[in-house]
Each structure stands twice: as structure tokens, then as C-alpha cells.
């Protein structure tokens, strides 16, 4: 589960990111609480507008941010973006401490945060591939998610206590100090520059268009991105849910922070489970989307503060499982030269959906009550599940087989196979492929393949059930084509 921590560069990165992530979660908690209770009169729409301004640039700047992550030295890019994020936090924190902050200041801060993060996020995600070898990449991606959610477990609770004890402004100031850990980690890391080589050749415009063309050809990535857009836009508006539900139950900033930390318990568990799995499979993303819909429904029905808090564990687990698996799938199945641009598109769609959904969810909470915002999240999970399952049925042409068996010999069985896999009167044990099997037809980057004896990792399609699966054709072949009876790497 933790094999990537044996690499010096990644270990330094992991520690610095963990400290910085704690501060970032403290700031995010304080930011939404300030908007809801200090700079507005419990206006959930204002929280939604803040989130829209913060995540909107992720969508608008995607043509540039991905190219920057692929073309330039990612370590230097991160030095610039992390320094800017530190200055933004310090500036707003001092304004709040001295009582000069107004709502429009918060909006401007959120917009600035979004612009910087539009370049920071793809560079930070792709930088992991510069720190570890190919066979450790998927495990490192999952541990990144675990670090993020570990910080989420601590940061919001600490923020709630600090807001009540010394004021919200100091939370922003403390977060600005936490960036020193990340800057120090970047200074200690020694890694060769890989970005410029990855995109050499061709004009800037052609390089930008190439990323979109690559994603368009990968139908599996398109479906993943549609799913994360739906859930990201209308499902993962946790600041709105937690703050409005805390107010509905008559609780304060401390309890609001507790809700965010309890959500992180499930998120951390989900990330660690993904790190243990041998591969990040498409089926797991679809299942997690369905679980998100179910857990959102359960949360909306909870009658008390503490039962609602407990229900957030399941909601966090499903969310983290979905995002960690989808991130691993996208990153480890993308060509190295395209990874930065593909990740920028992925995160633009994931976070860029917030400007669309957050104001809507905030308006629903204001007009109908906080619980209806949770019903909106549940519906988003159901829709995403339907999209993923529909593609598995249509794109993979899944077939359902019912085995009645001879009378008195065995019970009826239900199995699922896809087109191209034989299923006749032979021994089912020799030919059965269930939904747990990796989608070998989608293999695009054989360099990511790891040996079956390697430690468990969360790489999308990186291992089969018993061993690695080879590429089924040249890079230019149709990724949706599979030769009938092709059984390489399968039991």
C-alpha cells in the first residue's frame, strides 16, 4: 500500500503536501463559513457563487494550463503557483483580522485562487510521474489522494476550533505559513525536467488541440469525464451541505468543522482501499457513482445532527473511491506526452462543473431547505451511474447469461460477459469474464504495465486478474476494437 514512500523524492513531496493540505482544508472551511455567517445572512447562494468563482477558471483556462504542465519544468511552475497561493491567503487573512473584508473581497480572492489553481492542479498531479517510476505511478496517485483526505480529516476540525477561539482571519494566516512546507519540499527534490521533451514539435495551437483530440478518441475517458462532471457539478458541493445542515440543526462553526472531518473519515478509507487494489477499473467508478446516489439519499433522510454526521462517512467513502479510481484510470492510461493536457481537461471538467451546479444547489437549499440539496446530490449520483452502466452495456456490448443447471445438481447462476468473449458449453471456469475484469481493449500505454508480483497499487488497467495485459495493437488502432477470442493475460 505504501511502496511509493520508499522513493526519496516522493517521500519528501508527500510530507510537504500533507502539511500544506492541512492548511488548505483549514482555509476552505473558514472561507465558506465566513461567506455564510460573517459576510452574508446565511445566504447559501453566496457560498455557491464563491465556489463558482473559485472553480470556474479551471474550465476556462484548460487550453493553457495543460500545455504549461506538459511544456515547462513542473517543479518551477509549482514554485510560482504555490508562492502565489501563499500570498493570496496571507492578504485575505490580514483583511479579515483587521476587519476590512467585505463580500466582494471574498469573491475576488476566490477568483484569484481559481486562476492560480487552474495552473497548479495539472502541474501538481502530473509532477508525481516525475518522482516515481512507471510501475509505482498508480500507487503514488492513490497515496496522493490518501494524503489529501488525511488532511481533510484534521484541517476542518482544527479550523472550526480556531474560528471559535481566535477568529476566521487567523485561519487564513496560518494556511499561508503552511505553504512553506511545500516550497521547502520542492527545493529539496531533485528531478530532471521532462515536460519540454513531452510536447516538443508543432505549434502551440496544435499542441493544445492534440490534447482534446486524444481525449475524443478515448471513449472510456469521455464517459469518465461525463460522470465526474455530473457528480462534481451537482453532487460534490459539500461546503453547502455541511454549512446549511449545521445551521438547520442549530449548530455553530465547531460542529460545522466536525462534519467536514467526519466526511474525511470515509474519504480516507476509500483512498486507502483504492491504493490496495491491483488496478483502477472502470467498473469501480460506475459502482462508486451508484453508491454516491444511495449515500446521498441516506444523508438526506437523517433526522438528527449526529445521525447525519455518521451518514457522511459513507458519502465520503463513495466520493473518494470514485475520484481516486477515476484519477488513477485517467493518469495511468494516458500517454506520458499527453498526461498534463489530459489531466487539465479532467480537472477542468471535474472542478469546472462547480460554477454550473453550486449556485443551483445553493438556490435549492435557500428555496426548499438544506435537505433538498442532498436530494440533488443523490440524483446526480444516479444519473452518473446510469451513464457509466449504459456505456458498459452499449460500448462493451455486455451480455447476460442465465444458467439454470440440471435439476437437483446446482443452483441457477447469472454471469455477464462482453462481446468477443466465448460463452458456449465449455467449462465456464475456463472462459468466464465478469465485470471485475479490467477492460483490456482500452489499453493505450503499455509502459505502465507492472509485474504481477509487484505490490498492490491503484493503476488503471495496470494489471489483469493474474498478470499484465499487453497492448492489442499499434498506437493508431481503434481503441474500441478487440479481436474475438483474444485472451492474452486472462485466466
Annotate 193-257 with three-state secondary structure: CCHHHHCCCCCHHHHHHHHHHHHHHCHHHHHHHHHHHHHHHHCCCHHHHHHHHHHHCCCCHHHHH
- pLDDT score for 369: 81
pTM: 0.62
Q: How confident is the model at residue 470 (pLDDT cuts 50, 70, 90)?
A: very low
Per-residue pLDDT for 40 more than 60? Answer: yes
- Does residue 172 contact residue 91 with C-beta atoms inside 8 Å? no
Among 107-116, 126-135, 228-237, the range with the most confident prediction by mean pLDDT is: 107-116
Estimate to the nearest angstrom the gap between the alpha carbon of 456 and the chain centroid: 20
For residue 125, the model assigns a pLDDT of 79
DSSP readout, 173-191?
Answer: HHHHHHHHHHHHHHHH---
Over residues 283-308, the mean pLDDT reads 90
Task: Say yes or no to pLDDT of 212 above 70.
Answer: yes
Give the pLDDT score at 179.
92
pLDDT of residue 432: 41
pLDDT at 438: 40
Arithmetic mean of pLDDT over the chain: 75
Query: What per-residue confidence (pLDDT) applies to 8?
Result: 87
Whether 488 shows a pLDDT value over 50: the answer reads: no
Write down the pLDDT at residue 314.
92
Residue 199 has pLDDT above 70, yes or no: no
Average pLDDT, integer, range 167-190: 91
In this model, does residue 141 exceed pLDDT 90?
Answer: no
> How much of the chain, in percent, has pLDDT values that exceed 90?
16
134/291: higher pLDDT: 291
Question: Three cell numbers at 228?
Answer: 465526474
Q: Which of 162, 87, 70 shows the shortest CA–CA distance to 123?
A: 70
Q: What percent of the chain has pLDDT over 70?
A: 75
| pLDDT higher at 279 or 458 | 279
The whole-angstrom separation of Cα 63 and Cα 26 is 30
Greatest mean pLDDT range, 125-129, 306-310, 360-364, 454-458: 306-310
Element (H, E) at 119: helix 103-131
Closest CA to 310 of 272, 265, 345: 265
Rg of the chain in Å (alpha carbons): 23
More confident call, 402 vs 6: 6
Tell me the C-alpha distance between 491 and 482, whole Å.
17
> Of 361, 270, 277, 257, which is closest to residue 313 (Cα–Cα)?
270
Range in 229-238, 270-279, 320-329 the model is least confident about: 270-279
Which of 117-126, 357-366, 449-458 bottoms out in mean pLDDT, i.e. has the lowest?
449-458
Q: pLDDT (tens digit, 9 = 90+) per residue, 47-91? A: 778 878 887 787 778 767 777 877 788 889 999 999 999 999 999
Q: Of the given ranges (127-131, 193-197, 361-365), which has the lowest mean pLDDT?
A: 193-197
- Strands 398-403 and 413-418 come out as antiparallel
Name the least confident of 132-146, 204-218, 434-448.
434-448
Q: Is the pLDDT of residue 462 over 60?
A: no
Which of the four pLDDT bands, split at 50, 70 and 90, describes residue 112? very high
The per-residue b/e assignment along 469-487, b for 16 or more CB within 10 angstroms, e otherwise, is beebeeeeeebeebeeeee
Amino acid at each position: 500500500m505504501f511502496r511509493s514512500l520508499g522513493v526519496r523524492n516522493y517521500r519528501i513531496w508527500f510530507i510537504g503536501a500533507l502539511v500544506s493540505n492541512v492548511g488548505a482544508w483549514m482555509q476552505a472551511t473558514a472561507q465558506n463559513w465566513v461567506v455564510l455567517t460573517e459576510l452574508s445572512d446565511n445566504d447559501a447562494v453566496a457560498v455557491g457563487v464563491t465556489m463558482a468563482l473559485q472553480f470556474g477558471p479551471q474550465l476556462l483556462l484548460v487550453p493553457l494550463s495543460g500545455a504549461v504542465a506538459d511544456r515547462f519544468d513542473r517543479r518551477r511552475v509549482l514554485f510560482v503557483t504555490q508562492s502565489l497561493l501563499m500570498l493570496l491567503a496571507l492578504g485575505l487573512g490580514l483583511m479579515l483580522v483587521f476587519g476590512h473584508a467585505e463580500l466582494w473581497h471574498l469573491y475576488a480572492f476566490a477568483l484569484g485562487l481559481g486562476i492560480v489553481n487552474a495552473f497548479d492542479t495539472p502541474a501538481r498531479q502530473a509532477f508525481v510521474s516525475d518522482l516515481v517510476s512507471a510501475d509505482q505511478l498508480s500507487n503514488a496517485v492513490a497515496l496522493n489522494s490518501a494524503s489529501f483526505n488525511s488532511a481533510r480529516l484534521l484541517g476542518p476540525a482544527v479550523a472550526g476550533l480556531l474560528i471559535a477561539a481566535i477568529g476566521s482571519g487567523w485561519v487564513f494566516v496560518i494556511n499561508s505559513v503552511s505553504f512553506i512546507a511545500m516550497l521547502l519540499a520542492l527545493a529539496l527534490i531533485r528531478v530532471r525536467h521532462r515536460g519540454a521533451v513531452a510536447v516538443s514539435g508543432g505549434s502551440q495551437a496544435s499542441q493544445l488541440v492534440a490534447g482534446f483530440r486524444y481525449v475524443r478518441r478515448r471513449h472510456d475517458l469521455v464517459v469518465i469525464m461525463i460522470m465526474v462532471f455530473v457528480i462534481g457539478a451537482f453532487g460534490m458541493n459539500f461546503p453547502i451541505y455541511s454549512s446549511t445542515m449545521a445551521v438547520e440543526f442549530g449548530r455553530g462553526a465547531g460542529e460545522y468543522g466536525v462534519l467536514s472531518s467526519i466526511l474525511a473519515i470515509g474519504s480516507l478509507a476509500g483512498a486507502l482501499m483504492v491504493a490496495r487494489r491491483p488496478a483502477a477499473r472502470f467498473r469501480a467508478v460506475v459502482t462508486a457513482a451508484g453508491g454516491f446516489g444511495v449515500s446521498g439519499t441516506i444523508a438526506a433522510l437523517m433526522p438528527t445532527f449526529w445521525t447525519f454526521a455518521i451518514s457522511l462517512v459513507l458519502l465520503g467513502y463513495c466520493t473518494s473511491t470514485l475520484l481516486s479510481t477515476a484519477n488513477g484510470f485517467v493518469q495511468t492510461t494516458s500517454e506520458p506526452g499527453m498526461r498534463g493536457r489530459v489531466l487539465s481537461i479532467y480537472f477542468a471538467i471535474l472542478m469546472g462543473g462547480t460554477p454550473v451546479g453550486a449556485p443551483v444547489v445553493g438556490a435549492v437549499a435557500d428555496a426548499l431547505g438544506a435537505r433538498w440539496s442532498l436530494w440533488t446530490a443523490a440524483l446526480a449520483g444516479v444519473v452518473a451511474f446510469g451513464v457509466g452502466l449504459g456505456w458498459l452495456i452499449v460500448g462493451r456490448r455486455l451480455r447476460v447469461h442465465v444458467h439454470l443447471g440440471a435439476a437437483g445438481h446446482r443452483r441457477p447462476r447469472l454471469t455477464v460477459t462482453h462481446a468477443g468473449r466465448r460463452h458456449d458449453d465449455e467449462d465456464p471456469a475456463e472462459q468466464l469474464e465478469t465485470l471485475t475484469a479490467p477492460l483490456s481493449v482500452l489499453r493505450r500505454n503499455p509502459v505502465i504495465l507492472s509485474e504481477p508480483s509487484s505490490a498492490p497499487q491503484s493503476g488503471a488497467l495496470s494489471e489483469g486478474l493474474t498478470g499484465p495485459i499487453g497492448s492489442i495493437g499499434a498506437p493508431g488502432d481503434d481503441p474500441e476494437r478487440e479481436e474475438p477470442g483474444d485472451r492474452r493475460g486472462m485466466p
